[in-house]
Structure 1
Amino acid sequence: MKKILYIFSLSLLLLGCEDQLIKDANFISENVVFESEPLTEAYIANLYSRLQFQYAENQNMGMWAAVGAEHTNYADWQAPNHAVLRSFSEARGPGDLDYWNYSLNRDINFLLEKIESSENLEPEYIRSKMAEARFLRAFNYFEMVKRFGGVPIITRVQNRDDAYDELYLPRNTEQEVYDFIYNETQAILGDFDDERIGANGRVDKYTVLMLQSRAMLYAASIAKNGNVGPNGVTGINASSATSYFQKSYDASKAVINSGQFILINSGTDKVSNYASIFLTEGTDNKETIFAEVWEPVIKGHGLDNYAYPAGFGASWNSNFPVLYDFVELFDFTDGRSGKIDRGLLTASNEWDINDFFGNRDPRFRASVFYPECEFKGERVWFHTKTILADGSSVNSTSTKVTRLDGTEMPQASEPRNRRNTSLLRRKKVDGDNPTPVSGYSGQDYIIFRYGETLLNFAEAAFYLGETSEALDAINQIRDRAGMPLRTEVTEGNIRHERQVELCFEDHRFWDLIRWRTAQQYLDGVRTKGLVFNYKLETDTYVITLKNAETQVRSFGTERFYLPFSSSRLGDNPKFVQNPGY
């Protein structure tokens, strides 16, 4: 019986070619799918749609920020909060952090095996589609290797009647998987021209280089900071670190030297400039290298519905409370450290909110909703109550008080705004969205951008001894942000810059893993939020700490890799479990 290939109509929209294709989903024989360019494009669009570029579209899109201790989620029952507090074991498996996409891998292999025999497609077209598919396969392996370490490398379509040893393959080593990713991307680079189309959601040469840049940096870090596991399939030999740093450096340098990309840096307002990176789409955004394209209603998500503060028209809202532990990483524009002595955050001290938050790194102000920041022409409030001149307090959310400057404010903020941390994620939120409900947000998800290129380059250059190049790259980032330039480059300030520049972009958790520093931030830590009480007489705030999460975080060294579930181990008798489980 011939296999039947299911082409999703949604995938047609992904590539903007619905005028060429049948609008309804159709069942198409494998004998004809690669005899037509439109059907081939639809097949590849389906592959794109199944590759997990981001965790989810709606309330769970904050998964990696939650497990990386950047922000949490509003409700205890939401998947990111489960993942933070989950006890990992063989019996329980990897839970919500799982990614095991061999069905996608099989369909990519199917294309690579069948398309070459097409009688109707032009050789140049076949070559370009094979290159695109090989990139998707390499990216798919990257998503699996960073979770599990070594996984089986399968480059052919497996069938049920294959021999036992062909069906049940052992895990390749982690190093072999990273080498596979590099070799695949290196092999296809020449199959792409210099056209820049990654910002429109299609793989191009620069997208391929950025996967090299990122994946090889991960491999280098794991080799430098980790150890080869007892079963040999996790970890990378330390002697390989320099080679991987060089590969990452070379790929980043190629993107830089292409002249195709810049750091967006228009106007004098550093806050709005940084915010614009994530709201400017397509090739008009000269910083975007590769993006997953979204369109409201047609292929929309719910970021604005979930991220808007309460009181601004979103039905859910306030879903991503930012942890104060992470806020402390954002220094002040005058060079002061963002880490204020926590012993000063008591009921006996008062703070000017414009200094406490308003004078921090512009990237903070573009990324976080904080007390009295402006949104959609109004202020956002986070205070629990207003303390009057006689020492009494009032806390009605519907009754106003008059401030010293004559303006009015509510006695207390909306409860949802202050429930967990009294700070909310703002980055990527579209204040111009007229319909902030689920499915009506269309901000593209930026997978690779030039800011990351420079940070990858700086890190690799530093470990290769090219400190002047590393310093220059870091200072390009800081200059764009309006922060004081560094006079020297260190491992610490490279890592610090990365966490601040790439906040809420799904990097920090994986960075803490590859640096092997996760215990410092994620183990034995009870993350904090803030309580704001406004003092009417002095126009200041009393700021105190509160627990942001229900319990202390736990992160043992075994969590550098996720466990294989007992069922997955049972499916393949040649699999070995990751160390510590």
Structure 2
Amino acid sequence: MIIMKSRILLLMLLTIVFASCEEQLTKTPDFISEGVVFEDENLTEAYLANVYSDMLFIDVGGEAQNNMGMIPAAGAEHINFANWQTPNTTYSRSYTAASGAGPLDYWGYNSIRDINYLLENIGSSKSLDDSYILQKMNEARFLRAYAYFQMVIRFGGVPLITKVQSVDDPESELYPSRATEEEIYNFIVTELDEIIATMPDQKTGAAGRADKYTALALLSRASLYAASIGNFSTVQADGLVGISSGSTQDFYQKSYNASKEIIESGMFSLYEKHEDKMVNFSQLFLDEGNDEVIFAEVFEPIVKGHSLDNIATPAGFAATWNSNFPVLYDFVELFDFVDGRKGTDISRDDLIASNSWEIEDFFGKRDPRFRASVFYPESTWQGGLVYFHSSTIYTNDEGERVSATSGTFDRNGEVWPASCHPRNVRNTALLLRKKLDETNLEPLSGRSGQDFYVFRYAETLLNYAEAAFYLGKTGEALVALNELRERAGMPTLAEATEANIRQERQVELAFESQRFWDLIRWRIAPQYLDNVRTKGLVFNYDLDNDKYVITLKNAEGVSRVFGPERYYLPISLGRIADNPNLKQNPGY
């Protein structure tokens, strides 16, 4: 934490000195002279901290920072409370060449230009020693690879710029064409391979500074994405999108090797400090700096805080906004039960007014990762219960079964509200719990400090299992999957299959901004995101029987749309006007 706080203070100091960066690729950055910046470690650290802060690790923009839910909303894990909030437009809007990529956009050339500038100038320093210069260059190259990764998963091939542009450069360099998607992935892999070879065996990732294992984690993820695209899609537009099938196995091998190196390093392990499986999974995201964290974006309340607790805590507690991320029942069905039942064994046809359910069986016996990640009726929180029922059904003094929506009842000596706060049931009657800090009893805006885990060891095991499976190493894949399931308290699997590898990934990494991109790289997004009317639940509590009547409702006003063109986002006409050598993606 001290490292991050010092970095932020340095950044604040340097921001006073630096002029603002220009938007266009063709502009020369108006920076303080390299003769000053790269002769002083503090200024160099502040310069690089500025690049870190511009990276898209987690989007904390939007109204009250609700863009933290952007990618989960796009991937139909949860939505946002109201349709006017930006994340909900990721699936409701039409993507066109005129409108561009909208809220999912990322065009990281400002950061890439800053990185290229550092790489071209830091080596001329007369004050910094060679080992320090190499360390900073490696960090910068990692960040550049990460920026290109964020663009390639959105657009496919993009312009590959590895030097600072000058107004005197030829037009071919000032207005670069798009590289192919495969060329971008190859660039990412090559960059990471080269810097890994010269990075020491030190762990700084949990403190927010890229290290060897951070680079390996990106290599593991990016290679797996490339392999999937080669495996499940075709090349289009002269290679601007798509990867040749002949490269697939090489990319799977790259991912497998990188994952295996992390595993065999002994530097990381699954978090297992608490015997209770639900508590353990909850605390994983609050016990910062633990040995599962490979790389994190570090947050500190006030200095660099966020508002997750304020906007996500259920209504009825101290948060001033609250209940902002309603979880979709479609996603809940992925979570199986500890007794071996599938999440889909509860038929939707049985969710009718004539049936009633024990809430402990319906939700409480599901995967502990579900209970640690989702608020459902009677979840305990900060010494109280979270309510999601719309009414209470009971037998009145005349012996009639009636329903109440106001007032309170006595439930075995407990004061029971006839209905919950309306914000809790507006959309799905389920809410995001994962990463929330129960000890934050006054969750004000900007006062939360949970780090965002960009890479964690659990993902490494999942990457390893998936790559191993497609390389024919199914036994190794099974061992990795079961290591995760044993940590979670779930029955072990008898075999590794494509289906259970994908399900385990979605469950383990729920709400961590992964599912949307996974559905895309597996080329199965339309199954979950096209012509799908996602569902929420309605709970009515039966006081006489201590059960709930559970029925379905539509969670979203319209069906989702995900046509085949959406595997890649459109490049806006404005960008094409600025650079006429940019070709548009297919379908736009």
Question: TM-score, normalized by length of structure 2?
Answer: 0.94
Whether the aligned pair in 2 keeps the contact of 1:226 and 1:235 (CA below 8 Å) is yes
The one-letter amino acid paired with 1:225 is F
Alignment partner, residue 209 of structure 1: 216
The one-letter amino acid paired with 1:55 is D
Alignment partner, residue 358 of structure 1: 364
Alignment partner, residue 298 of structure 2: 293
| Secondary structure in structure 1 of the residue aligned to 2:391 | strand
Alignment partner, residue 337 of structure 1: 342
Distance 1:56 1:562 in 2: 21
Whether the aligned pair in 2 keeps the contact of 1:20 and 1:38 (CA below 8 Å) is no
Is 1:367 the counterpart of 2:377 in the alignment?
A: no
The one-letter amino acid paired with 2:56 is Q
Distance 2:163 2:202 in 1: 30
Distance 2:3 2:155 in 1: 32
Q: 2:46 aligns with which of 42, 49, 73?
A: 42
Distance 2:5 2:413 in 1: 51
Distance 2:476 2:75 in 1: 29
Whether the aligned pair in 1 keeps the contact of 2:4 and 2:208 (CA below 8 Å) is no
Distance 1:244 1:333 in 2: 35
Distance 2:322 2:219 in 1: 37
Whether the aligned pair in 2 keeps the contact of 1:21 and 1:38 (CA below 8 Å) is no
Alignment partner, residue 85 of structure 2: 78
Whether the aligned pair in 1 keeps the contact of 2:14 and 2:43 (CA below 8 Å) is no
Whether the aligned pair in 1 keeps the contact of 2:10 and 2:43 (CA below 8 Å) is no
Alignment partner, residue 532 of structure 1: 539
Distance 2:120 2:6 in 1: 23
| Secondary structure in structure 1 of the residue aligned to 2:551 | strand
Q: CA deviation at 1:334?
A: 0.3
Alignment deviations for residues 239-286 of structure 1 (CA, whole Å, 9 cap, x no partner): 11100000000000000000011111123210000011110112xx11
The one-letter amino acid paired with 1:132 is E
The one-letter amino acid paired with 1:232 is G
Q: 2:470 aligns with which of 463, 468, 471?
A: 463
Q: 1:400 aligns with which of 395, 408, 421?
A: 408
Whether the aligned pair in 1 keeps the contact of 2:11 and 2:49 (CA below 8 Å) is no
Alignment partner, residue 439 of structure 2: 432
Whether the aligned pair in 1 keeps the contact of 2:394 and 2:542 (CA below 8 Å) is yes
Whether the aligned pair in 2 keeps the contact of 1:303 and 1:441 (CA below 8 Å) is yes
Comparing 118-127 with 360-369, greater Cα deviation is found at 118-127
Alignment deviations for residues 15-54 of structure 1 (CA, whole Å, 9 cap, x no partner): 5474899587224433311110100000000000001101
The one-letter amino acid paired with 2:251 is Y
Distance 1:572 1:231 in 2: 19
Q: CA deviation at 1:183?
A: 0.3
The 5-angstrom pairing of residues 425-574 of structure 1 reads 425-574=432-581
Is 1:26 the counterpart of 2:17 in the alignment?
A: yes
Count residues with an aligned counterpart.
566
The one-letter amino acid paired with 1:90 is A
Whether the aligned pair in 1 keeps the contact of 2:326 and 2:428 (CA below 8 Å) is yes
Alignment partner, residue 63 of structure 1: 70
| C-alpha spacing 1:197/1:311, structure 2 compared with 1 (3 Å) | same
Q: CA deviation at 1:571?
A: 1.2
The 5-angstrom pairing of residues 166-315 of structure 1 reads 166-282=173-289, 285-315=290-320
Is 1:323 the counterpart of 2:314 in the alignment?
A: no
Whether the aligned pair in 2 keeps the contact of 1:12 and 1:42 (CA below 8 Å) is no
Alignment partner, residue 377 of structure 1: 383
| C-alpha spacing 1:221/1:170, structure 2 compared with 1 (3 Å) | same
Q: CA deviation at 1:188?
A: 0.5
Comparing 471-480 with 190-199, greater Cα deviation is found at 190-199
Distance 1:22 1:558 in 2: 45
Q: CA deviation at 1:402?
A: 1.4
Whether the aligned pair in 2 keeps the contact of 1:198 and 1:290 (CA below 8 Å) is yes
Alignment partner, residue 29 of structure 2: none
Q: CA deviation at 1:190?
A: 2.4
The one-letter amino acid paired with 1:312 is F
The one-letter amino acid paired with 2:326 is P
Distance 2:8 2:585 in 1: 44
| C-alpha spacing 1:65/1:24, structure 2 compared with 1 (3 Å) | closer
| C-alpha spacing 1:93/1:24, structure 2 compared with 1 (3 Å) | closer
Q: CA deviation at 1:119?
A: 1.1
Alignment deviations for residues 155-176 of structure 1 (CA, whole Å, 9 cap, x no partner): 0000122211121111000000
Distance 2:10 2:217 in 1: 32
| Secondary structure in structure 1 of the residue aligned to 2:153 | helix
Q: State the identity as a percent.
A: 58
Question: TM-score, normalized by length of structure 1?
Answer: 0.96
| Secondary structure in structure 1 of the residue aligned to 2:444 | coil
Whether the aligned pair in 2 keeps the contact of 1:148 and 1:563 (CA below 8 Å) is yes
The answer for unaligned runs of 5 or more in structure 1 is 1-10
Whether the aligned pair in 2 keeps the contact of 1:372 and 1:379 (CA below 8 Å) is yes
Distance 1:408 1:23 in 2: 56
Whether the aligned pair in 1 keeps the contact of 2:11 and 2:46 (CA below 8 Å) is no
The one-letter amino acid paired with 1:402 is D
Structural RMSD (CA): 1.5
| Secondary structure in structure 2 of the residue aligned to 1:25 | helix
| Secondary structure in structure 2 of the residue aligned to 1:289 | strand
The one-letter amino acid paired with 2:51 is L
| Secondary structure in structure 2 of the residue aligned to 1:392 | strand
The one-letter amino acid paired with 1:328 is E
Distance 1:142 1:193 in 2: 23
Alignment partner, residue 154 of structure 2: 147
Distance 1:470 1:21 in 2: 46
The one-letter amino acid paired with 1:508 is R
Distance 1:513 1:274 in 2: 27
Whether the aligned pair in 2 keeps the contact of 1:535 and 1:542 (CA below 8 Å) is yes
| Secondary structure in structure 2 of the residue aligned to 1:31 | helix
| Secondary structure in structure 1 of the residue aligned to 2:238 | coil
Whether the aligned pair in 1 keeps the contact of 2:318 and 2:441 (CA below 8 Å) is no
Q: 1:418 aligns with which of 397, 402, 425?
A: 425
| C-alpha spacing 1:24/1:238, structure 2 compared with 1 (3 Å) | closer
Distance 1:267 1:438 in 2: 30
Alignment deviations for residues 337-369 of structure 1 (CA, whole Å, 9 cap, x no partner): 111110100000000011000000000000000
| Secondary structure in structure 2 of the residue aligned to 1:348 | coil
Whether the aligned pair in 1 keeps the contact of 2:465 and 2:478 (CA below 8 Å) is yes
Whether the aligned pair in 2 keeps the contact of 1:59 and 1:306 (CA below 8 Å) is yes
The one-letter amino acid paired with 2:401 is G
| C-alpha spacing 1:19/1:56, structure 2 compared with 1 (3 Å) | closer
Comparing 84-93 with 497-506, greater Cα deviation is found at 84-93
Whether the aligned pair in 1 keeps the contact of 2:570 and 2:584 (CA below 8 Å) is yes
| Secondary structure in structure 2 of the residue aligned to 1:409 | strand
Distance 1:574 1:24 in 2: 34
| C-alpha spacing 1:20/1:26, structure 2 compared with 1 (3 Å) | closer
The one-letter amino acid paired with 2:249 is T
Distance 1:43 1:204 in 2: 18
| C-alpha spacing 1:476/1:72, structure 2 compared with 1 (3 Å) | same
